[in-house]
Structure 1
């Protein structure tokens, strides 16, 4: 399928810039997922097709711009550190799910490159605003090798739906996932001991998240914390852009989002978002992707 025909095929399945209703159903159980190279090439093709779409939808054009910038940040992180020195903070939430998809789509073409020596691992905060061009076409790009390393810091009282989705998606996307039921700092200290080669961690933090206001694309951890470079490829995405990407590309997501949850924590501090209550009924909620305002995203969090 050519790039143009791929674009047309995806456009035909969409109405007004969104896919037909996505139920967020669980990833297929009991079926072995495709091999990692196949998944990465498939996601790369999806992203390429999405970026070549010609659309009058202003929101989707903004998402396309955000994707280009985020992939530029990811490619810069790959250039600085190499895949073997990078990890992803992953908890199954919508933001890190978008980030995971973008990272995997960037991996073809990098597997054949040697990781940079330790002396070249930079700690600057500068990065390009657009992707670094790769002269190799998708069909001849090197296949990704080792699974993407990831850390899952578990809530003290996790939702079973979140635990299930993390396990299923980690298997589907071949994540090398380390799970820590610890507070953040002890979890990162343990991860640093278990994975001493990790120099940088991708985070799905966005500007409207707590402590996200002044972050850049590359920020070292604070003094007294385990020393990693924090990489924030989706820092400038808005809530509606996250959901437009997920639904437009038909990415499976945690079912709690279909039940009115908009920000996932634990069972003791998270509830459906009251802004999504149906006609004021506190027992019925519209899905998370119908929320429009960034400022209302965390109304369901204590």
Structure 2
């Protein structure tokens, strides 16, 4: 995947990642097999977790990663890869989640079946058929619910990153509920969906790591591995691991919706000039993240 140039900074970063031959895109990640990518991401995450640091903020990110990976492994134990999917729209939160899921796959092994109340209709034979002892070569299932007026940059990044990470991505230009209904009709084996929702997102305040859908919605388990991450922690992880991201974040966008309801975050305006904005990763306050959304 090719990085789109943004504003260059003193640390020689382009598009928020180091402009070096060690970046994932520079190594031609998109030309590699899915197991190779999973093992590489696992190594990068393991190195991040094992790095000694005196930085309290970085230690908090390390702890967040450990908690999230435990949730992902529990979801794999409960459902198996064949019954799991990812809600993916190219945004920063689901991008972090995607990387963590892929990093968990090499170490995943089949586990004893969980209590019946977690099954959501999965039989023992279905789980056994989906169990693997190592990284699956099958792509991770994913759903992309398209904004009514999508940014071309978002559409482009979703397509390129889905190719890079070998996602089995289904695209629906529908409102959320009918999109989910259509997806579960197309993918009836899916019993749980990973979501990049965080506590400060709308309707995120009372969510837990595992929440069944509400009455009247298509029935599946919502899995929220990054629910307790803060905004600065999301960006610290992305930049520390040099993960390519959508170029709109370089232009001051901090929360991506559609063309008609999203604009650069005014908290990142340079010198009060509403035509120049600092990149999204320079925002510090969770409460200011959605100031660019109507």
Provide TM-score, normalisation by structure 1.
Answer: 0.83
In structure 2, how many angstroms separate the alpha carbons of the residues matched to 1:213 and 1:250? 30
1:244 and 2:242 correspond = no
Contact 1:80 1:120 survives alignment (8 Å): no
1:122 and 2:119 correspond = yes
In structure 2, how many angstroms separate the alpha carbons of the residues matched to 1:109 and 1:282? 47
Contact 1:152 1:179 survives alignment (8 Å): yes
1:289 match: 281
Aligned residues: 265
Which residue of the other structure, out of 44, 50, 53, is the alignment partner of 1:52?
Answer: 50
Secondary structure of 1:95's counterpart equals helix
**1:22/1:116 CA distance change after superposition, 3 Å:** farther
1:73 and 2:71 correspond = yes
In structure 2, how many angstroms separate the alpha carbons of the residues matched to 1:86 and 1:31? 24
In structure 1, how many angstroms separate the alpha carbons of the residues matched to 2:233 and 2:243? 14
Matches within 5 A, 1:130-169: 142-169=134-161
Matches within 5 A, 1:168-183: 168-183=160-175
Which residue of the other structure, out of 203, 221, 231, is the alignment partner of 2:223?
Answer: 231
Structure 1's unaligned 5+ residue stretches are: 1-18, 124-140
Q: How far did residue 23 of structure 1 move?
A: 1.5
1:187 and 2:184 correspond = no
In structure 2, how many angstroms separate the alpha carbons of the residues matched to 1:231 and 1:76? 10
1:72-98 per-residue CA deviation (whole Å, 9 max, x = no partner) reads 000000000000000000000000000
Structure 2's unaligned 5+ residue stretches are: 1-10, 18-23, 121-132
1:279 and 2:271 correspond = yes
Which residue of the other structure, out of 227, 250, 262, is the alignment partner of 2:254?
Answer: 262
Q: How far did residue 22 of structure 1 move?
A: 4.3
**1:284/1:36 CA distance change after superposition, 3 Å:** same
1:243-278 per-residue CA deviation (whole Å, 9 max, x = no partner) reads 000000000000000000000000000000000000
1:203 match: 195
What is the alpha-carbon root mean square deviation over aligned residues? 2.2
Secondary structure of 1:164's counterpart equals helix
1:200-250 per-residue CA deviation (whole Å, 9 max, x = no partner) reads 000000000000000000000000110010000000000000000000000
Secondary structure of 2:59's counterpart equals helix
In structure 1, how many angstroms separate the alpha carbons of the residues matched to 2:274 and 2:250? 15
1:113 match: 110
1:97 match: 95
